[in-house]
Chains A and B, each alone.
Chain A
C-alpha cells in the first residue's frame, strides 16, 4: 500500500515542493524515514506514533517506509509531521487517499495529536498556490498567515482528528480572519512625539529616512541615540502589500512571528555587538537568514559600532551594496534579501563626552576613528549628531511627531521615484550632479578641491543634497541644500576655508 502526500520544504526563503511517500509492507514493525532529513524530521517518528494513537487511530503494525522526495534537497524542521501522519493514515486505509491528491498539508504534531504552529506556513501556502494545488491544511495558529495567499483554499485545523475529518470530506471551519490588529497595523507604540529637544537630530533623521540613507548617530552615552534610532521605522512609509508579504514570509520562516498576520511596519533589528558574521548576514548549515535579512525593508541598527567584530562588519559590506547576500554551503547556494537602511551609533570619542568636556588627546581620537573607519563607514551617508538636550528643551513641547514627518518623507520619496524610479541612494553621482545650480556646483567643486571631501564623500554629499532638495520640493539643488548636506557629512577631516 502506497500513499503520496504533498508538503513543502524551505530552501532558504523559497518553498520547494516535497512529496512524502509512505509505503506499508509486511515485515517486522518499523518506521524508517529516508530522503536527506535532518534531526527534527527523523525525530518525527516518535511524534507521529504517539499522535496517531492518542487521536484514536491505529498505528499499523507493518514495516513503514517514509520517503521525502526529491532526495537531493535537504529537509529540516518539524513541518513534515502532519504529512507523514496523513500518509500513514491513507496508506493503511484509515482515511480516503483521493482528497490528498489536490491538497498540501503542513504542520507539526504534538504527542497528544494537536497541531502546533511552525515557521514558514506563509511560504508553504505560496508554494501550494504556485504548484496549482486546490488548498493547504495548516495548524489553526498559522491560518492567519497562510490566509494572506489569495487564490488558494486554506483549511485550518486544531488536531490530527480535525485533519482526518477534513480529508474525509467535512467542510473546513472558516479560518480566523487575518487580523492586521495582531501585527499592530500601521500604528506604532512609539512616536517621535515622545522626544523632547533634539531638533537638529530629528531633521537629520528625516533626511535619512526620505532618501533611504545609511546613517551614523554620534553622541555621548545616554543622550538618546538608541531612542532616536528606534523611532526611525515610525517615519518610514508603511510597507506596500508586496513588501509586507515578503517581510512576513522572512519573519515567519525565521520563526519570529509565527501565527500572526501581515507585517505592515518596516522591521527594526538591533543585534548585540557580540554577533558573529553568520549571525549578521546569514549562515549556518541550513543556512538560515541573518539579522540583515530580518531587517530587510526596514532598519538594521548597530549600537556601539566600534565594538562589533571586524569580520562581522566586513561581511555586511557587500550585502549592503547589493541588497542581497548569497550563501554557498556545499553544492547549494541560498540567496537572502538584505535591502536595509543601516543606522550605526557610536560615541564621538573614547571618553564619550565630546566637545569641551572631552579628555581625549588627538591621538586617542585618531585611534577611535581608525577603529570605526574602513569600508563600512564609507557606506554611511550622513552623520546625526546627538547632543544632550538643554533643560529648556526638555521642558518644551516635542518638536514634531511621526505622522507629520512620515508624510513629508513619503512625499519626498514619491518625488524620487517619479524622477529616478528609485530612491536617491540608487542614482549615480553624474546623474545627481545634473540638478546642481551653478552656484552649488562651484561650491561643491571648491570644497572637493580643498580636500575637505574625499571622492566618496563628494558623492555622499551630492546624494544627501538631492534628498534635502526633494524634501524642499525642489527639482534643482541649490547652495542652501548643498550646505545643509555638507553640515551632515560624517567625515571628520580638516576643513580648509573656502569663499562660500
Chain B
C-alpha cells in the first residue's frame, strides 16, 4: 500500500512551498488549489525554478525516503485512505503514517461505523482540564472509540494518555485507542517532550501527517493539521480553550463538515474557558463525561443516568464527605467520625478505584467520571 506518484509529488510540493506558505499573507483555501495554481500563487519570483523541481520529482526516490524513515504512505487513490477525509475541500493528497498501519484502516472503511472523536484544547491548561481530557480519552477508548488529537502539551497529551491507559489492560482491538496528527513529518516528534507519548502511540495506534518525512512544523502547518484532525474525527470535543485558540479552528472546521461539536463547560470568570464556553453558547453539545460524547456521536446511544458505584457503607460515607468538600483526611475524619489514619486508608481505596483524586497539595476531590465502560 503506497500513495500514487501524483499524490506523492503533491506532498513534496507542499513541503517545498512550506517557507513560502509561512510568508504568504493570506493562506485561506490555498491548499485547495491544484498543483500548478499553487506554484503560481505562492512561488513568486522562484516560480519557474519551483516548477522545474516539481516536474523533476522522482516518485521512486520519494518512496525510498518514506521507507527509510520507517513510514508508510497512502492517498485517495490507494487503499487505506480514510474516505471521511474527502469531505474536506482541501483534503490532504497523501498521508504518511508511523506505527500500526492497521490503525488507520479501521477508519478507512466506507461504512463509517468506526467511530473516532477528536479531543483538543489548550496547551497551557489547568489541572482539572487535563483531568477531564484524560477521563474523556480513557472513557471513549474503553468504549471502542478512537481518540484523535495533536500530541501537543496539555489537553492533547492528556487525552492521548487517557486513551492509552484504557488500552493497557487488554490488547488493542481492531480500532486503535488513539491517533496523533502532527504538524510536521510523521517522524518528527513535536513537541520534543512528547517523545515518550509518541512511542506509546505508535505501539498501539499510529501517528499521521500530510507532510513527507523529516519536514519541520511551521506556523502555517498547525491550522492545516487541525483540518485533518477535524476530518478524521466523527465529532470534535474542545476541553479548555481561550478566546482565540487554535482548538476553535478545529471546532469551526468540524462544524463546516457538518459534524457534531462538543465543549466542556468551565467557570465563566476563567480566561481558559472563554473559548469553550463560547462554543456552548453557539450550540455545541455540553460534554460532562464520555457518555455525553457517545450520546452525541451515536444516534442509538441512550445516556443512562450514572449509577453510583457500589460501595461499602463506610467508603460511601467517605465519598459523600469528599463530594461535600471535605478535602483532607483530617476534615474527612472530623465529618465522618473516626481517626485520620482510617480516613486516609478509605481515601486511598477510593483513589485506587478512580473515584477521588489527590492533588499535589494532598487534597482530595471527586475524580472526573470515566464513562460507562468502567463502571
Enumerate chain B residues within 8 angstroms of A390, measured Cβ to Cβ: 331, 334
Contact indicator B348/A361 (Cβ below 8 Å): no
B347 surroundings in chain A (CB, below 8 A): 487
- Say how far B242's CB is from chain A's closest CB, in angstroms: 12
In the complex, chain A residues whose CB is within 8 Å of the CB of B370:
497
CB neighbours (8 Å) of A498 from chain B are 352-353
Q: A197-B330, A393-B334 are in contact. Are A218 and B362 (CB under 8 A)?
A: yes
| CA–CA, A383 and B360, complex, Å | 10
The answer to the question of B4 belonging to the interface, with a C-beta cut-off of 8 Å to chain A, is: no
In the complex, whether B371 has a CB less than 8 A from a CB of chain A is no
> Complex: how many Å from CA A483 to CA B129?
28
Check if A200 sits within 8 Å of B330, measured CB to CB: yes
- Total residue contacts A-B, CB cutoff 8 A: 137
**A232-251: contact bitstring with B at CB < 8 Å (1 yes, 0 no)?**
00000000000000000000
Query: B96-104, B120-128, B216-224: which one contacts chain A?
Result: B120-128
Complex: chain A residue closest to B315, CB-CB: A500
Interface centre among A200, A393, A450, A494 (most CB of B within 10 A): A200
* B352 close to A447 (CB less than 8 A): yes
Beta-carbon contacts under 8 Å, A375-400 to B:
383, 385-387, 389-390, 392-393
Residues from chain B with Cβ under 8 Å of A487 in the complex: 329, 344-345, 347-348, 351, 358
Query: Which residues of the other chain, A, contact B339 by a CB distance below 8 angstroms?
Result: 199, 203
Interface residues in B133-189 by Cβ distance below 8 A to A read 134, 153-154, 161, 165, 168
Q: Is A120 an interface residue (CB 8 A)?
A: no
Q: State the CA gap A18–B331 with chains docked (Å).
A: 63
Contact residues in B for A499 (Cβ distance below 8 Å): 353
B327 at the interface (CB under 8 A from A): yes
A26 at the interface (CB under 8 A from B): no
- Structural contact, A355 and B363, CB atoms closer than 8 A: yes
Q: What CA separation (Å) do A374 and B348 show in the bound complex?
A: 25
Known: A362-B126, A488-B344. A199 touches B329 (CB 8 A): yes
Contact partner, A365, options B134, B333, B352, B360, Cβ 8 Å? B360
B360–A496 CB distance below 8 A: no
Q: Kindly identify which residue among B125, B344, B363 contacts A361, using a CB–CB cutoff of 8 Å.
A: B125
Q: Which residue of B lies closest to A485 (CB)?
A: B348
> Is the C-beta of A495 less than 8 angstroms from some C-beta in chain B?
yes
In contact, A387 and B354 (Cβ under 8 angstroms): no
- Pick the residue among A348, A354, A483, A488 that contacts B349 (CB under 8 A): A483
Which of A200, A363, A369, A450 meets B154, CB within 8 Å? Answer: A363
Interface bits A56-73 vs B (CB < 8 Å: 1, else 0):
000000000000000000
C-alpha spacing A486/B357, complex, angstroms: 13
Contact of B127 among A202, A362, A387 (CB under 8 A): A362
Provided the pairs A219-B361, A348-B359, A390-B331 are in contact, do residues A494 and B134 lie with their beta carbons within 8 angstroms? yes
Report whether B328 and A385 are in contact in the complex, using a CB–CB cutoff of 8 Å.
yes
- Whether A483 lies near B348 (C-beta < 8 A) is yes
Instruction: Please tell me if B289 contacts chain A, counting CB pairs below 8 Å.
Output: no
Contacts of A200 in B (CB 8 A): 328-330, 333, 340, 343-344
Q: How far is the CA of A498 from the CA of B153 in the complex (A)?
A: 27
The digit string for A192-207, where 1 denotes a CB below 8 A from any CB of B, is: 0000011111110000
* Cα separation A354 to B328 with both chains bound (whole Å): 12
The listed residue with most B CB atoms (<10 A of its CB), out of A201, A385, A486, A498, is A385
- Does A349 count as interface, using CB distance less than 8 angstroms? yes
Contact residues in B for A203 (Cβ distance below 8 Å): 329, 339-341, 344
Which residues of chain B are within 8 angstroms of A356 by Cβ–Cβ distance? 363, 365
Interface size for chain B: under 10, 10 to 19, 20 to 34, or 35 or more residues? 35 or more
Contact of A497 among B125, B341, B353, B363 (CB under 8 A): B353
B356's closest neighbor in chain A, by CB?
A: A495
B210 at the interface (CB under 8 A from A): no
B363 contacts A385, C-beta separation under 8 Å:
yes
Q: How far is the CA of A443 from the CA of B134 in the complex (A)?
A: 24
**Least CB separation from B126: chain A residue:** A361
Question: Distance (Å) between the CB of B149 and the closest chain A CB?
Answer: 16
Known contacts A361-B126, A484-B341, A486-B348, A349 near B361 by CB under 8 Å:
yes
Closest to A443 in B: B352
| A197 CB to nearest chain B CB (Å) | 7
Across the interface, B361 reaches (CB within 8 A) one of A197, A348, A447, A450, namely A348
Residue of B nearest to A357 (CB): B361
Contacts A348-B361, A349-B360 given: A363-B153 contact, CB under 8 Å?
yes
> 1/0 contact trace for A345-373 toward B, CB 8 Å?
00011000111101011110100010000
Q: Are A354 and B363 in contact (CB under 8 A)?
A: yes
Contacts of B362 in A (CB 8 A): 218-219, 348, 354, 383, 385-387
Q: Is A307 an interface residue (CB 8 A)?
A: no
Partner of A494, one of B161, B329, B348: B161
| A480 on interface, CB distance cutoff 8 Å | yes
| Closest Cβ–Cβ distance, residue A273 to chain B (whole Å) | 20
Whether a CB of chain A sits under 8 angstroms from the CB of B374 is: yes
The interface residues of chain A lying within 8 Å CB-to-CB of B351 are 487, 495
Is B363 in contact with A387, judged by CB distance below 8 angstroms?
A: yes
State the CA gap A393–B348 with chains docked (Å): 23
Q: For the complex, give the distance between the alpha carbons of A390 and B370 in Å.
A: 32
Contact yes or no, A385 B361, CB < 8 A: yes
- Which chain A residues numbered 176 to 204 have a C-beta less than 8 Å away from chain B? 197-203
Inter-chain CA distance A73–B239, complex, in Å, is: 71
Distance (whole angstroms) from the CB of B364 to the closest CB of chain A: 9
Given the complex of chains A and B, what is the CA–CA distance between A468 and B358 in angstroms? Answer: 20
Instruction: Indicate if the CB atoms of A355 and B361 lie closer than 8 Å.
Output: yes
Residues of B within 8 A of A389 (CB): 330
Partner of A354 from the list B161, B341, B359 (CB cut-off 8 Å) is B359
Rounded to whole angstroms, the CA-CA distance of A498 and B360 in the bound complex is 21
Identify which of A199, A450, A488 contacts B333 (C-beta below 8 A).
Answer: A199
Measured between beta carbons, the chain B residues less than 8 angstroms from A360 are: 126-127
* Contact call A495/B153, Cβ cutoff below 8 A: no
Residue of B125, B127, B330, B363 touching A199 (CB-CB under 8 A): B330
Do the beta carbons of B130 and A362 come within 8 Å of each other? yes
- Chain B residue numbers with a CB within 8 Å of A430 are none
Task: Give A385 to B328 CA distance when docked, in angstroms.
Answer: 9
Mark A residues whose CB is within 8 Å of B.
197-203, 218-220, 348-349, 353-356, 358, 360-363, 365, 369, 383, 385-387, 389-390, 392-393, 443, 447, 450, 452, 468, 480, 483-484, 486-488, 492, 494-500
Sample of 17 A–B contacts (CB below 8 Å) = A200-B329, A203-B339, A355-B359, A356-B363, A361-B126, A361-B154, A362-B126, A362-B129, A365-B360, A393-B334, A468-B341, A486-B352, A487-B344, A487-B345, A496-B168, A497-B370, A500-B352
Add 18 more A-B contacts to A200-B330, A483-B345, A497-B352 (CB < 8 A): A218-B362, A355-B361, A356-B365, A360-B126, A361-B124, A361-B125, A363-B154, A383-B362, A385-B361, A392-B334, A393-B330, A468-B341, A484-B348, A487-B344, A487-B358, A496-B165, A497-B374, A499-B353
